[in-house]
Amino acid sequence: MTIEFSLTKRQEETKAAIHNLAVSVIRPQSLSWDQNHGIPNDFLQRIAMLANSLGSLSPHTEVSREPEATADASGTKKNKGVNVSTIVGAEELAWGDPALLLCLPGPGLGGPPIRATGTQEQKERFFGFFKDISTELRWGAYALTEPGAGSDVAGIRTSCKKVGDDWVLNGRKCYITNGARASWNVVFATVDPSLGRGGHRAFVVEKGTPGFSVGKIEDKMGLRASETAELVLDDCHVPAENLLGGEAAYHTKEGFMTAMKTFDNTRPIVAAMAIGIGRAAFEYACTFVKDHYVMTRPIPRYAAIAERLARVGRQLSAARLMTYRAASMADHGIPNAKESSMCKAMGGQAAIRACIEAIELCGAEGSIQADHRLLEKWFRDIKVYDIFEGTGQIQRIVISKRLMTNLRAF
């Protein structure tokens, strides 16, 4: 064991490859994707193929606890350092466009709960959807949030009831990334709200299931290229074989743990994406200041500008190191729930500060939307990074519980 801060040769190459792609292909289209509410499928297909060939950042990848090289059910090869590789790639891709990674075809956030809880048969069946992305693009999604239950996951009200061989689901899910285009959604419901987490069940609800429909597609402040959907479950009949993990898996609190496991694994990726966007804004501001200010003048005003730039730079650097740490722990099979929450909390905040400060430093010009002037877009895109996958406040709850003795809930 050692202390080291260099990327492997392969990680450096992947990073450079994604960066070049971001500069030459992704950024020039970024604003049009935002304006058109989506990324064209043919482009997504090319990127997905490329990401697969790079080995890192394939749509099947999420932060994994497995320390050694294994092949998981989706057939993805996992090699040493894969978690660090993933966050390095995620930062670079988000630097190019904040929504792109979220739009990539694949199981998305629906992957981790299936991998964690699904039976072998279910893993094969549901990951099988994504075997061949060369002909048709497919997505999976993760449907937990409801109009009345966001951070308070235990408070979901979507009901499920066994009727014959089927489960019947009723309720509404909202803010579901890729929920409308998804071939299947992992939907969380409860057999009895009074049971709290113990009553939770997770289902894979396939598109076309009777009683399943898509409600409205949200109009958002940012990340407008990413689809955010409302899902309606109206006497939705889900076959018993789509209950994730089978009935036996729910004799403990596993239902809720399934929901939460997803986040331990994906928070470092979201943190890395936030840092990529923050870095984009920071670099934009540095270039702007270089071009517009005479920094060598010893006028206090300029010292203040220097200090703000330095502060943003160091907060991003600190958050990146925290993210590397969380991912590196996962690479070594060390539990990292606290560290994942720390990097997510710091990454989101550092990046939001970066975007806010960048606009202020660039003045009026910073707020103007135009080709190759994406700062106002990043400002809109970044805010949600301190909200989704657990708000900054939720991260602090996760951290607090691991700091204080016997703190189960507030």
What tokens appear for 288 in the block?
A: 């702007």
How many residues bind other proteins (CB under 8 A)? The answer is 51
Measure the CA–CA gap between 24 and 377, rounded to whole angstroms.
18
Helix (H, G, I), strand (E, B) or coil at 367: helix
What tokens appear for 60 in the block?
A: 């099947």
| 35 closest CA partner among 97, 89, 104, 109 | 97
CB-wise, 83 or 228, nearer to other proteins?
Answer: 83
**Count of alpha carbons within 13 angstroms of residue 329, beta-carbon side:** 16
Our answer to whether residue 389 is catalytic in this structure is yes
Asked whether the beta carbons of 225 and 97 are under 8 A apart, the reply is: yes
Measure the CA–CA gap between 159 and 192, rounded to whole angstroms.
7
What does the per-residue mask of binding to other proteins show for 63-82, with x meaning CB under 8 A? ------------------x-
Positive/negative CA dihedral, 368, 372, 377, 383? negative
- Using rule CB under 8 A, residue 399 touches other proteins: yes
Q: In angstroms, what is the minimal distance from the CB of 46 to other proteins?
A: 30
CB-wise, 301 or 410, nearer to other proteins?
Answer: 410
Q: In angstroms, what is the minimal distance from the CB of 275 to other proteins?
A: 13
Measure the CA–CA gap between 362 and 288, rounded to whole angstroms.
7
What does the per-residue mask of binding to other proteins show for 317-336, with x meaning CB under 8 A? xxx-xx-xx-xxx-------
What tokens appear for 289 in the block?
A: 């200041």
Q: In angstroms, what is the minimal distance from the CB of 150 to other proteins?
A: 17
Residues 297-316 binding other proteins (CB under 8 A) are 298, 303, 305-307, 309-311, 313-315
Q: Position of tokens 């629906």?
A: 110
| 352 closest CA partner among 268, 285, 276, 274 | 274
Q: In angstroms, what is the minimal distance from the CB of 336 to other proteins?
A: 11
What tokens appear for 182 in the block?
A: 């998804």
Stretch that binds other proteins, among 71-79, 119-127, 153-161, 295-303 (CB under 8 A): 295-303
Measure the CA–CA gap between 17 and 9, rounded to whole angstroms.
12
What does the per-residue mask of binding to other proteins show for 250-289, with x meaning CB under 8 A? ------------------------------------x--x
- Using rule CB under 8 A, residue 387 touches other proteins: no
- Using rule CB under 8 A, residue 2 touches other proteins: yes
Q: Position of tokens 């289902």?
A: 203
- Using rule CB under 8 A, residue 294 touches other proteins: no
Q: In angstroms, what is the minimal distance from the CB of 343 to other proteins?
A: 9
Judged by CB under 8 A, the residue of 8, 24, 41, 151 near other proteins is 8
What does the per-residue mask of binding to other proteins show for 20-59, with x meaning CB under 8 A? ----------------------------------------
Measure the CA–CA gap between 248 and 240, rounded to whole angstroms.
12
Q: In angstroms, what is the minimal distance from the CB of 2 to other proteins?
A: 5
Measure the CA–CA gap between 281 and 268, rounded to whole angstroms.
20
Judged by CB under 8 A, the residue of 116, 133, 153, 342 near other proteins is 342
What is the DSSP-derived secondary structure letter of residue 252?
Answer: S
**Bridge partner residues of 149 (DSSP):** 146
- Using rule CB under 8 A, residue 152 touches other proteins: no
| 40 closest CA partner among 26, 54, 51 | 26
Measure the CA–CA gap between 30 and 25, rounded to whole angstroms.
9
What does the per-residue mask of binding to other proteins show for 82-121, with x meaning CB under 8 A? --x-------------------------------------
Q: What is the binding site for other proteins (CB under 8 A)?
A: 1-8, 81, 84, 286, 289-290, 295-296, 298, 303, 305-307, 309-311, 313-315, 317-319, 321-322, 324-325, 327-329, 339, 342, 345-346, 393, 395-397, 399-400, 403-405, 407, 410
Residues assigned a catalytic role: 389
